[in-house]
Amino acid sequence: MATCRSCGKNFDPAPSLLDKYPGWTPQECPSCYTGGRRSRQVSVAPADDPHTGVFTDGSASPNPGAGGWAAVWVIEDVIQAEAHGREPATTNNRMELRALIEGARLVPAGTTAVLWSDSNLAVRTINEWAAGWKQRGWKRKTGPVENLELVQELFDLVQSRPELEIRWIRAHVGHRWNEYADQLASGG
């Protein structure tokens, strides 16, 4: 028996789902489930500062230019793991996607986690658009998919890990762990 985090109702997960993902507990009932990804953008006010999740950030200065990415996995304000890196010639968008990829890799398979990103573009790319692009042979209606190799890598990664969820968090408004990831990504 599980309790849906969206509607609060109790439900019994399908045995076939539990067989496929041993040790995982679904977070939403079949009525609320949206394919493992939120179709709406979830913003968190600073007063509701999250204390658990994988907080990611990427930057390039100038854009394009030298850049960095960072991810920190936190449970109740205790750092479990972190990673960060730099690239000499890149873009903000590439670094945001790389941060999400590396952030997902910090979390052991089967462990439920929210990946927080302050890049609305990266979040929407994976949660809303990538499935359609994949169905069209990784093409957008208006042209090629930018940063295709990173989009494919991240999409495939989160599709294979239904226990992970990507959500948007507002940048530069005082969210503790988002600011921490921002400093790591900026080389600070």
- Domains of the chain, by residue range, sit at 1-33, 42-185
| 115, β-bridge pairs | 54, 166
CATH number for the domain whose boundaries are 42-185: 3.30.420.10
90: nearest Cα among 156, 177, 171, 149: 149
Question: Which residue type sits at 135?
Answer: Q
Kind of pairing between the strands at 65-75 and 53-60? antiparallel
Per-residue pLDDT tens listing for the chain (188 residues): 777 665 567 778 777 767 766 666 776 666 655 544 333 344 444 557 899 999 999 999 999 999 999 999 999 999 999 999 999 999 999 999 999 999 999 999 999 999 999 999 999 999 999 999 999 999 998 989 999 999 999 999 999 999 999 999 988 888 899 999 999 998 85
What secondary structure letter does DSSP report for 37? S
Name the packing angle between helices 148-159 and 92-106 (round to 10°).
20
